[in-house]
Amino acid sequence: MKKEVLLQDAPGTRVLVLGNEAIARGAMEAGVQFATGYPGTPSTEILETLIEAAPHLGFIAYWSVNEKVAFDAATGASFSRARAMVIMKHVGLNVAADSLQQVKLIDIAGGFVVVSVDDPSGVSSNNEQDNRWYAKFAGLPALEPTDLNEAREMTRRAFEISEELHMPVILRSVTRLGHMTGDLELGRMEPRREKPYFDSSRAWTPFPCLEPERRLKDKLRRAGEVLERYQFDRYEGTGHEKIGVVGAGFAFNYALEAVDTLGLRGQVALLKISTVNPLPAKIIRRLLSHVNHVLVVEDVTPFLEEAIKGEAQELQRPIHIYGRRSGALPEVGETILDDVVLALADIVRREMPEIAIPKDILPSPERTEQAEAVKKLIPRRQIGFCAGCSHRATYYALSKALQNAAIKDPIIVGDIGCYTLGFYPPFSLLQTMTSMGASMGTANALAQLNPQRKVIAFIGDSTFYHAGMPGLLQIGHQQRPVLVIVMDNSVTGSTGQQPHPGTWQLAHERTVIPIEDIARAYKIPHVRVVHSFQVKRLIRELEEALSLDVPAMVISRQACVLEPGERWRQKTIVGKIDPARCDGCLVCIEEFGCPAFIAADQDGRIAIDPVLCNGCASCKIVCPQGAIYFERLEQIK
């Protein structure tokens, strides 16, 4: 266990943790008995921590193949009276939404907590989706924590609330909290004594649904009273302030800091809202009873702003509401402090001109101009594959195979994972990328509608198991001549090397289900497995597969270089460039672009940085002059 202290029953101890670890700790304190989910930045470390802790504390925790499978498993656990948790990133809840919308109607037994970590600005995602709407959509209670201690406490309480109301509770977090490191105070561990047991004497289904739908409405009304008891929401004011500042969940930090920065503490009313659904109307009305202006600070959508506007209308008070909807704060992108300070300063200048706002709160116009001038000079730095990454070798091989086969106008479909970087130079091969596993279905239709062109679909191993399998089944069933290239690095790589059913490194303890076996069962007539670093062979295999008019699959397989220990297994040799042969043509950088290639001298010759090179040797065939060679690492030292 990376952080042993997270296992200790040492209330009051202060530890340095990630927001995600604080949520995991909260679940441990609540005596969680079953936890599962699917990895996805920014949520991964929650379940990762629980999986590490599980054998020590005696509960069940594992990675599921996708979020729906995970949700259904947590449902089974909750039906068995166990405290269950299912954890995913925001878009993961889309995958599990079908189950969510049924289970919400059933009186569950064990506390059921659904954790969704949203990704404002889409830092590691294709969209910025506000999952508070899921709570409203489903009609389930939801909470969003403001800081690490509340994340721990709220997670712990969410199980109690779920059990009291017999319904799942959603915990919404955001990237900034999940990936924030800070100090957490540990609480008391309260293990569950009750053994899991499934009661067969009742039916666990919402069908027929009208009565359960009615009960859901009643339960949600009761949820309002239950949640009020926990006092997650806080009002700070005297009842006389003209201006109110409201912060939702983590964004409350920005509300608070903006008020402090402007020296307005005590002069404006503050409201922290951590109850997402049902919204705490009483405390909101307390604020609205005396203010004329309200700034609402929240991430992603004006969820709270719109609700507050509704409340204000009911109170029939002429209150100005500012936020993402009004245009006072940016409509898209993560909330940042600077924007909140500006918006609040603007309201105060207009409505309370008697208050002097400090002048130096933001950089001067000259300083900003200077910054913009400097930024124009700074070169872009795009993200790219690691040195020793198998994806680079595979994309390079496909580029060559397309050239050799003289395929001019291919359609190349991408999917979700590190290999999405194939959109960018030096390969710039991918043309589409939408949701997990979508490459299969999309490629199928593209091949049908563009019969003159070769359609190639890239999919990662974890993505294949997650949602690619049904799409491949369709391709096999319709025998569509798509070439599927599996970027198989044997783990869920982009989120930090979590295992899945194809992780052969774990074959000694679990049943491995190789992708090639699945493809053959799905009647893909041409299936080949190639070692990614055997680049010449990979090019040949891809050329052959490109020439076929039937469904084909080439699996390019090599462990992820970031897998613990893998780098050192690979790095027995290190690349060198013979300066006598290198003519500075830059083909190695142009076509391969490994970060280990560095400028060696003024004449434009290239060298390989021995620290960065991981010895995969897949670049050897790239040099037209044959200048790249490899030496054993000890020879270099």
Partner 1 sequence: MRREAQNVRGPINLIIAGVGGQGSLFASQVIAQAAIQEGFSVRIAETYGVTQRGGPVYSQVRIGHQVYGPLIPKGQCHLILGLEPIETLRRAADYLAPGGSVAINTRVDAPLETKLGRQPNLSFETIQEELRKLGVGEMLAVDARAMAEQAGGAGSANMFMVGTLFAFDLFPLRYESVEKAVKAITRPRFLEGNLLALARGREYALSIKNLRGG
Summarize as ranges the residues that interact with partner 1 (CB under 8 A): 14-16, 41-42, 44, 123-124, 176, 179-183, 250, 253-254, 256-257, 260-261, 336-338, 341, 362-363, 367, 370-372, 374-375, 377-386, 417-418, 420-421, 425-426, 494-496, 586, 589-590, 593, 595, 597-599, 611-612
Q: Which residue, 337 or 529, has its beta carbon nearer to partner 1?
A: 337
Q: Which residue, 397 or 418, has its beta carbon nearer to partner 1?
A: 418
Q: Three-class SS of residue 482? A: strand
Q: How far is the CB of 623 from partner 1 (least distance, A)?
A: 15
Q: Are strands 606-608 and 597-599 parallel, antiparallel or unpaired?
A: antiparallel
Q: How far is the CB of 298 from partner 1 (least distance, A)?
A: 14
Q: How far is the CB of 40 from partner 1 (least distance, A)?
A: 9
d(CA 601, CA 589): 15
- The residue with tokens 């929401």 is 233
d(CA 505, CA 490): 8
Q: How far is the CB of 193 from partner 1 (least distance, A)?
A: 34
Q: Which residue, 15 or 469, has its beta carbon nearer to partner 1?
A: 15
Q: How far is the CB of 283 from partner 1 (least distance, A)?
A: 21
d(CA 462, CA 501): 8
**CA-based nearest residue to 525, from 464, 486, 481, 485:** 481
**CA-based nearest residue to 485, from 427, 543, 428, 434:** 543
Q: Which helix (H) or strand (E) holds 287?
A: helix 281-288
502 CB-side CA count, 13 A: 28
Q: Which residue, 95 or 418, has its beta carbon nearer to partner 1?
A: 418
- The residue with tokens 């919400």 is 104
Q: Which residue, 281 or 633, has its beta carbon nearer to partner 1?
A: 633
Q: How far is the CB of 525 from partner 1 (least distance, A)?
A: 34
Q: Which residue, 193 or 380, has its beta carbon nearer to partner 1?
A: 380
Q: Are strands 275-277 and 142-143 parallel, antiparallel or unpaired?
A: antiparallel
Q: Which residue, 374 or 406, has its beta carbon nearer to partner 1?
A: 374
d(CA 475, CA 481): 8
- Report the residue count for the chain: 637
Question: What residues contact residue 99 under an 8 Å CB cut-off, 6+ apart?
Answer: 68, 71, 72, 75
Written in H, E and C, the secondary structure of 114-173 is EEEEECHHHCCCCCCCCCHHHHHHHCCCEECCCCHHHHHHHHHHHHHHHHHHCCCEEEEE
Q: Which residue, 7 or 336, has its beta carbon nearer to partner 1?
A: 336
Look up residue 326 and give its two tokens: 């009004």
d(CA 198, CA 76): 9
Q: How far is the CB of 602 from partner 1 (least distance, A)?
A: 12
Q: Which residue, 180 or 220, has its beta carbon nearer to partner 1?
A: 180
Q: Which helix (H) or strand (E) holds 335?
A: none
Q: Which residue, 95 or 184, has its beta carbon nearer to partner 1?
A: 184
Q: Give the C-alpha distances (Å, rounded to integers) separating 319 from 265, 272, 288.
A: 21, 19, 8
Q: How far is the CB of 561 from partner 1 (least distance, A)?
A: 11
Q: How far is the CB of 426 from partner 1 (least distance, A)?
A: 7
Q: How far is the CB of 336 from partner 1 (least distance, A)?
A: 6
Q: Which residue, 55 or 363, has its beta carbon nearer to partner 1?
A: 363
Rounded to 5 degrees, what are φ and ψ at 347?
A: -65, -45
Look up residue 494 and give its two tokens: 């982009």
Q: Which residue, 181 or 403, has its beta carbon nearer to partner 1?
A: 181
Q: How far is the CB of 91 from partner 1 (least distance, A)?
A: 14
Q: Which residue, 37 or 206, has its beta carbon nearer to partner 1?
A: 37
**CA-based nearest residue to 487, from 435, 549, 422:** 422
Q: How far is the CB of 371 from partner 1 (least distance, A)?
A: 4
Look up residue 101 and give its two tokens: 């919308």
Look up residue 475 and give its two tokens: 């391709």
Q: How far is the CB of 178 from partner 1 (least distance, A)?
A: 9
Rounded to 5 degrees, what are φ and ψ at 195?
A: -85, 145
- The answer to whether the beta carbons of residues 595 and 387 sit under 8 Å apart is yes
Q: Which residue, 147 or 541, has its beta carbon nearer to partner 1?
A: 147
Q: How far is the CB of 272 from partner 1 (least distance, A)?
A: 11
Residue 205 Cα to chain centre, angstroms: 31
Classify the C-alpha dihedral 430-434-435-438 as positive or negative. negative
